[in-house]
């Protein structure tokens, strides 16, 4: 069962982030790396912010991450999340992937117990129609 109900708006891949979502559909968390200077970036973008190259490679993230920052949501910004309150939106980072920060949900924890630096483990949220979203829970 998905974290949020099926009325939750779904990702709408575009030409820049389609490879990211295609990897997620295979339950692989991958991030862009510049094909020239190696600078990592997320969300996906057409050019490197460091050297302006359009060359891209993709690197696979480890399943381990940590809380860089987070907020606890107490008010529903969309009707689909009303039954999930309160829930945690986290900004997570990955060992060995400097510069990459992913906005995601931190689950399976009482929101008041989330802490910056807390180790996390990736899990894949099946939202149907072959789409999976990366979410995290305490390691
Ligand atoms: Zn570059």
The residue whose two tokens read 């099946």 is 126
CA of 59 to the centre of ligand 1 (A): 14
CA of 34 to the centre of ligand 1 (A): 5
Residue 86 Cα to chain centre, angstroms: 19
Dihedral of alpha carbons 126, 114, 72, 43, sign: negative
Measured distance CA(6)–CA(94) in Å, rounded: 29
CA of 41 to the centre of ligand 1 (A): 10
Give the pLDDT confidence of 1-15 residue by residue, as tens digits. 799 999 999 999 999
Q: How confident is the model at residue 34 (pLDDT cuts 50, 70, 90)?
A: very high
Edge-to-edge order in the sheet of strand 30-34: 40-41, 30-34, 56-60
Give the pLDDT confidence of 51-104 residue by residue, as tens digits. 999 999 999 999 999 999 999 999 999 999 999 999 999 999 999 999 899 999
Alpha helices in 1-139 (DSSP H): 18-25
CA distances from residue 28 to 31, 46, 81, 102 in whole angstroms, order as listed: 10, 21, 26, 14
Which tokens hold the place of 43? Answer: 């969300």
CA of 35 to the centre of ligand 1 (A): 7
CA of 52 to the centre of ligand 1 (A): 6
pTM value? 0.94
């Amino acid at each position: 069962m998905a974290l949020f109900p099926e009325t939750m708006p779904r990702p709408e891949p575009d030409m820049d982030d389609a490879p990211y979502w295609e990897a997620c559909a295979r339950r692989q968390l991958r991030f862009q790396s510049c094909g020239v200077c190696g600078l990592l970036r997320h969300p996906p973008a057409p050019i490197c912010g460091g050297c302006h190259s359009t060359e891209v490679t993709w690197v696979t993230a480890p399943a381990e991450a940590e809380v860089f920052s987070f907020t606890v949501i107490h008010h529903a910004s969309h009707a689909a999340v009303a039954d999930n309150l309160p829930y945690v939106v986290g900004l997570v980072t990955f060992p060995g992937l400097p510069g990459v920060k992913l906005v995601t949900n931190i689950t399976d924890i009482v929101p008041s117990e989330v802490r910056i630096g807390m180790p996390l483990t990736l899990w894949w949220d099946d939202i149907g129609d072959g789409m999976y979203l990366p979410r995290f829970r305490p390691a």
